[in-house]
Each structure stands twice: as structure tokens, then as C-alpha cells.
A = this chain, B = another copy of it.
Amino acid sequence: MINPVLVEVTRGGLVESRHRGAVAIIDADGAVVQSIGDIERPVFPRSAIKALQALPLVESGAADKFSLSDREIALACSSHAAEPGHIATVNSMLAKIGLDYSALECGCHRPTNEKASLAIAEQRQSPLASHNNCSGKHAGFLCLACYMGVDHAGYIRRDHAVQREVHGALEAMTGAAHGEDICGTDGCSIPTYAVPLKSMALGFAKFATGIGLEPVRAKASKRIFKACVENPWYVAGTDRAGTRIMEAGKGRVLVKTGAEGVYCAAIPELGLGVAIKCDDGTTRAAETIVATVIANLLPKSDAEGEAIRAIGHQTLKNRNNINVGEVRATNNLC
């Protein structure tokens, strides 16, 4: 199956580039509420499932034991932009378990937020592991390791107790086998497992509703959802699409991006989970797809829905701030 063109990028009235993709909208019983394109093909969720990867941290009792705040839980589900508030929160999480950034095994990269990147350049500082967009998740892994009383060294390895817990939560939530044959290494060096979009969406439908989950997991899901939607800046950062969509949604929608054009979303009031993948891995298109899909799902003329739809319609400006085109959803998404 060839996925349809879901997003067009225009210039001067013509279409300049085209993005294909697939969309799965699933309820907590696994029913396909809507699908576009191939939702059976394995997709690496990358960071889009961080909210599910954080379940063991909360349901184990680790989050309570170390008195993690909602902002810290949101950061454990984040791909943050390494703005000062993100870094302070990572450091605070690590301090609660007596560790610092040197325990993080995610590797270093420059802050994705340009202002933050330039600020450390002006100070002639090199980026630390805490600047890695995944450092909040990794701080959560370290909290879990400490709580479990295991050596935290090597917590990124597939056979480490922490990753085994995460693996179990992912299999249970998505209902998909997470075998070695579908395992790749993520940007931050933890395992990532390619599963069908419909399985990812199912995981987020169960997460959104608690349906079919043990009470402790249902409670943890609710707590993580609340932590993220009430602190969207901690899940992404300034002017990021995920932050803007969650802010516009006013607590009704959790969205999370993953590298290579993936987004997942949970919409409790509709009992639905959403997973999307842009075939070519492009962020701009994934943003337009997820915003449009969510807006379409919410009731007609819903103010939050229309605000979210607007985020998906992007104006392109050039170096002289002239409007030169747009990124827009095609009719295949409407």
C-alpha cells in the first residue's frame, strides 16, 4: 500500500514538496475508529511513546518515593529543548537521587532551542548530557534504577532491569510483541521497537482511558497525562508544536513527537489514542498531520480544536520575512 499525500508545501501558488503518511485512530478496545494509509507496517515510535515509557517510574512508587513534582514527571516524558528551566528540572530530579548529569548515558548534543544553544556558546561552554533532549527521560530511568536498588550503570542496555520494566510496559500497553527482530537503537542509545501504528494508538487509547489496565497502572496513566497537559512546556519547549498543541487543547489532549516524523496523542474525552507517521520522517509534516487529525476528531466548531488546527497550518517566511508559501493539510486528511 502506498500511503496518500497528507501534507503539501507550497510556494508562489504551486506545490513545491509533498509528504505522505499514515494515521491510526484507535479506541481502548482496539477498534479502528479511523485509519489513513498503512497502519500495520512497523514504525519506530522513537520519543513519541515517552509517556508510556514513564509508566514504571510512576506505578512502581519511585516517583512518590523521590517526591517527583508534576513538572518533573512531565520532563520524564519530554523531548525538551534544553532551555534553562528544563536543565534546572533535570538537575533537580538527579539531585533527589544523589546523582548529577555524569550519570546520564544519553550522550551530548547542543540544545535544540537556538537561544539556549547560543547562550552556552557565549559562555564558551560545551553541551552536557543534561542538554540532550532525552535527559528528562533518562533522569526518570535513573530514579527507577535507584528505587529498584540496582546498579544504574548501563541502564540504557536492553537487558538492564530498567529497560526490562519499560519493555514490559510497552508490550502490555500496545499489545504488540517487542522482540529483538524489531529492535533498533534510539538516538539516546536505549532500545526502540518498531510496531504497527495501530498498536501505538491502542497503547495511547488505554493510557487515555485506563480501560483494561490494572488500577495501579490506570492511576499512573492518569497522573502522567495530567502532569504533561498541565506542563506542556516541560514536555517540549518554547514555540514547539507539541507545547502549542497541548496549550491550545487546555488539558484535553496529550501529544508527543518522536524523531522521523512520528506523533502520538491521547484524547480521554473521546476515549481515543492516535498515532501518525510521516513516511519521509519530516517534522513539519508530522506536526500538520497530528494537529489536523486532532482538530478533526474534536466536535465541530470546538474552540480548542480550531486553535489546534491553526497550528497545523504553517506559513513559510523567507529571510526577509516575506510570506513565500505554506505547509498545509491535503484533502486526504479532511
Q: Which A residues contact B (CB, under 8 angstroms)?
A: 2, 9, 11-14, 16-20, 42-44, 105-110, 114, 118, 121-122, 124, 132, 181-189, 192, 194, 260-261, 279-282, 285, 318-322, 324-325
Contact = CB atoms under 8 A, between A and B. Distances in A.
Contact of A325 (B124, B184, B324): B184
Nearest to A124: B122
Instruction: Tell me whether chain A's interface is mostly helix, strand or loop, or mixed.
Output: loop
Among A194, A260, A320, max chain B CB count under 10 A is at A320
Contact of A107 (B17, B185, B320): B320
B280 A188 contact: no
A181 to B, nearest CB: 8
Contacts of A12: 44, 182-185, 192, 194
Contacts of A189: 318-320, 322
A282 B313 CA distance: 20
Contact of A42 (B14, B194, B324): B14
Contacts of A261: 17
A219 to B, nearest CB: 33
A11 B44 contact: yes
A4 to B, nearest CB: 10
A108 B321 CA distance: 10
B319 A11 contact: no
A260 B16 contact: yes
Contacts of A20: 20, 280
